Amino acid sequence: MSATSQVPDQHGRFGDFGGRYVPETLVHALEQLDLAYREAIRDADFLKTLDGLLKDYVGRPSPLYFAERLTEACGGAQIYLKREDLNHTGAHKINNTVGQALLTKRMGKQRVIAETGAGQHGVATATACARFGFECIVYMGEEDIRRQSLNVFNMKRMGAEVRPVTTGSRTLRDAVNEAMRDWMSSVQDTHYILGSVVGPHPFPAMVRDFQAVIGRETITQAEASFGKLPDTVVACVGGGSNAAGMFYPFVDHSEVELVGVEAGGRSNLLGDHAAPLTYGQPGVLHGSLSYVMQDEDGQTADVHSISAGLDYPGVGPEHSYWKQTGRVNYTSCSDKEALDAHGKLAQLEGILAAVESSHAIAKAMQIATERSPEEKVVVCLSGRGDKDVFEIARLLEEEI
Amino acid sequence: MSAIDDLFGRLRAENQKAFIPFITAGDPNLAVTKAILEAFDAQGCHLAEIGLPYSDPIADGPTIQASYTRALADKIKVPDIFSMLSEVKSLSMPRVCMTSYSIVHRLGEQKFLEMSTTSGLAGAIIPDLPLEESPRFAGLCKEHDFSLIQLVTPMTPRDRALRIAENSSGFLYFVSVTGITGTRDSLPEDLLQNVAWMKEQTSLPVCVGFGISRPDHVRELRDVADGLIVGSGIVRHLESCDPANPEETIQKVSNYVGEMIAALK
């Protein structure tokens, strides 16, 4: 079976994966959301408003930048960076939140909830809610609040309420649980702006579509810059939204190699990484069937990554589909490799990447080294690293 | 005919309503769960729901979440739960389990059914397996004469509620509120009306759950519902259970269930 871009089907299936494994309370709301979304993307006015916001508010298109010194240092293929870090709020997350906020307005809802891990999606949601005048509540694990205090401050400054989540591992997975529980009671007047290509249908497809602007721009910019499509495209994968947005427009261009990089953490032992596509197996988590880290009973396993944004036991169902069909190669890189790449990019290019994106940079450097100078490797630099300074300094045992 | 069909046939003939308590398996350990199931039976409960703890229960409020966390902290495993259930096969009340589809999927639908039927369960409630995702598993359940109890909520449109009722077996679980499990002071005003409407549409017994925790809730609903399901009201008694001396907790649960059953009459 080869991969197609004509997914999901009407039940939200990407091949065997996806679906809608949620309590009955949410089913009708998800059906309404699916309907509203499908109507919106056929509405020229909606698309025009969205394009205007992406241009004037987010600052798109984001540049495709040739990383000359990084390329030289690797001594192989030419490395280009898709600069999602230069978007308003410093990451790709805003592409999705602006889209979903516009949809929230169209549905006549006034209250928004969201989950966040690294805080980038929380900030992007708080930003969009401030822009549209919505009440905004962000669920965030206590452990992540500790790791990402800067983003917490910024969310509050924009009028959002940040609710600490104290259950389970106190990270992204628990924040999703709490947001879903809130939505179980508030679904009539509240929209849940999910931040990644995970969750029940239609979220995986909708978030992918709002993020696909990354890949579409990359195609146009690659043709303008070097007259062809890239040979290889690399992106980091936690829930997988920047990767899905980057890869999706390339899916039917089978000559382009796609590489997804998961968080390899400390080791390949269960609990030491956050790489379900590399080490996990299919299971149900947060409303869809996809690769997940579970124990033999189906209980979600603890995961680890230095990156709060990749510290998640599941992954979007379309990634599982791309893995199954072989369209995307999934691999992982360790905490240490990501930290090293973070330093290299800072010193060679003057770019401080998010620790999430540094996973993709690390793998792209390895790939570039093995390839000829005629080849072009594009990396999705999904976010900037300001939020990570304290955590990276702590890991490097340096005082700020 | 499953044991649940027999039960409701008998209750209807006697013009009686079912009291259905919920208990988490393994909180604080399986010996206590077993003793509580025996106490339920001794008090005259009609059907018991056994919760198989799951790490990420999105439909559950703080009381049941905390109970699941306590059970899982003790490294409880699904096969151990089924072993315990096999030891209470002689109880007169039928037993069903409630769990996440995550657990069923991981075990495999066929194996889950085999383990359930072997250990004497008459059915299952799988809240995160809605109508659209359930046809294959529902077919397997039917082959095993195993009830797959579906849920209807205040958010369910009426035409959808009819389709759910057609596809449910054993009984229909009518969720009283838009929200998660947990005790509540009062029940929604339109609940009685909605349950009455549902009962006119289906020959299946309609049992109401979520938020029911007091004898006055039971009195409010007993004339319209075929059965009442109580979860958090029971599970909260386990919060203070000393695993070494559980007798006091078991007695408290037993007394509470006794008061609730008394309110049915």
Q: Which tokens in the block code for residue A351?
A: 């770019």
A287 touches chain B (CB under 8 A): yes
The answer to whether B129 contacts A296, with C-beta atoms less than 8 Å apart, is: no
pLDDT band at B250; cut points 50, 70, 90 = very high
- Segment A242-247 mean pLDDT: 98
Q: What is the pLDDT of residue A149?
A: 87
Q: What is the pLDDT of residue A360?
A: 98
Q: Which residues of B fall within a CB distance of 8 Å from A184?
A: 58-59, 178-180
Q: Which residues of A fall within a CB distance of 8 Å from B156?
A: 24, 27-28
Cis peptide before B28 (omega within 30 of 0): yes
Q: What is the pLDDT of residue B74?
A: 86
Q: What is the pLDDT of residue A272?
A: 97
The pLDDT tens digits of the residues spanning A27-74 come to 999 999 999 999 999 999 999 999 999 999 999 999 999 999 999 999
Which of A114-129 are b and which e, b meaning 16 or more Cβ less than 10 Å from the residue's Cβ? bbbbbbbbbbbbbbbb
Q: What is the pLDDT of residue A167?
A: 87
Instruction: Find residue A82's DSSP bridge partners.
Output: A64, A380
pLDDT band at B205; cut points 50, 70, 90 = very high
Whether A400 shows a pLDDT value over 80: the answer reads: no
Q: What are phi and psi of A223, to 5 degrees?
A: -65, -40
Compute the distance between CA of residue B141 and CA of residue B134 in angstroms, rounded to an integer.
Answer: 10
The pLDDT tens digits of the residues spanning A326-337 come to 999 999 999 999
Cβ contacts below 8 Å, chain A against chain B, sum to 121
For B3-264, which CATH superfamily applies?
Aldolase class I (3.20.20.70)
Whether A249 shows a pLDDT value over 80: the answer reads: yes
The answer to whether A24 contacts B164, with C-beta atoms less than 8 Å apart, is: yes
From the list B231, B194, B225, the residue with the least C-alpha distance to B213 is B231
A 328-347 → B contacts, CB under 8 A: none
ipTM, 2 decimals?
A: 0.97
Closest to A284 (Cβ–Cβ): which among B78, B101, B152? B101
Compute the distance between CA of residue B21 and CA of residue B35 in angstroms, rounded to an integer.
Answer: 14
Closest to B130 (Cβ–Cβ): which among A27, A283, A297? A27
Q: What is the pLDDT of residue A62?
A: 98
Q: What is the pLDDT of residue B243?
A: 94
Name the percent of chain A lying above pLDDT 90.
92
Q: What is the pLDDT of residue A257?
A: 98
Whether A297 shows a pLDDT value over 80: the answer reads: yes
Cβ A307 vs Cβ A36: under 8 Å: no
- Chain B residues contacting A, CB < 8 Å? 54-61, 65, 69, 72, 77-78, 100-107, 127-133, 150-157, 160, 164, 175, 177-180
Whether B158 shows a pLDDT value over 90: the answer reads: yes
Compute the distance between CA of residue B204 and CA of residue B225 in angstroms, rounded to an integer.
Answer: 11
Q: What is the pLDDT of residue B20?
A: 98
The pLDDT tens digits of the residues spanning A81-133 come to 999 999 999 999 999 999 999 999 999 999 999 999 889 999 999 999 999 99
- Segment A246-271 mean pLDDT: 97
Compute the distance between CA of residue B163 and CA of residue B252 in angstroms, rounded to an integer.
Answer: 40
The answer to whether A20 contacts B103, with C-beta atoms less than 8 Å apart, is: no
Q: What are phi and psi of A264, to 5 degrees?
A: -80, -15
Q: What is the pLDDT of residue B238?
A: 97
CA nearest to A301 within chain B: B55
Question: Which residues of B are known to be catalytic?
Answer: 49, 60
Whether B1 shows a pLDDT value over 80: the answer reads: no
CA nearest to A10 within chain B: B132
Q: What is the pLDDT of residue B233?
A: 96
The answer to whether B179 contacts A184, with C-beta atoms less than 8 Å apart, is: yes
Per-residue CA distances from A14 to A210, A320, A321, B30 (Å)? 18, 8, 6, 40
Q: What is the pLDDT of residue A398?
A: 82
- The count of other CB atoms within 10 Å of the CB of residue B265 is 9
> How close A65 gets to chain B, by Cα (Å)?
41
Closest to A25 (Cβ–Cβ): which among B55, B78, B155? B155
> How close A312 gets to chain B, by Cα (Å)?
13
Compute the distance between CA of residue A33 and CA of residue A103 in angstroms, rounded to an integer.
Answer: 9
CA nearest to A184 within chain B: B179
Q: Which residues of B fall within a CB distance of 8 Å from A24?
A: 127, 130-131, 150-153, 155-156, 164, 175
Q: What is the pTM of this model?
A: 0.97
A271: left (phi over 0), alpha (psi -120 to 50) or beta: left
Whether B66 shows a pLDDT value over 90: the answer reads: yes
Closest to B128 (Cβ–Cβ): which among A22, A185, A188? A22
- Name, in order, each residue with C-beta under 8 angstroms of B203's C-beta and a sequence gap of 6 or more: none
Whether A1 shows a pLDDT value over 80: the answer reads: no
Whether A13 shows a pLDDT value over 80: the answer reads: yes
Whether A371 shows a pLDDT value over 80: the answer reads: yes
Q: What is the pLDDT of residue A384?
A: 96
Name the percent of chain A lying above pLDDT 70.
100
The pLDDT tens digits of the residues spanning A130-181 come to 999 999 999 999 988 987 888 999 999 999 999 999 988 888 999 999 999 9
Question: Which residues of A are known to be catalytic?
Answer: 93, 115, 382
Mutate to test the interface with A, among B52, B58, B159 (most CBs of A within 10 A): B58
> How close B134 gets to chain A, by Cα (Å)?
10
pLDDT band at A308; cut points 50, 70, 90 = confident
Q: Which residues of B fall within a CB distance of 8 Å from A202?
A: none
Cβ A151 vs Cβ A157: under 8 Å: no
Mean pLDDT, chain B, whole residue set: 96
CA nearest to B76 within chain A: A297
Higher-confidence residue of A320 and B265: namely A320
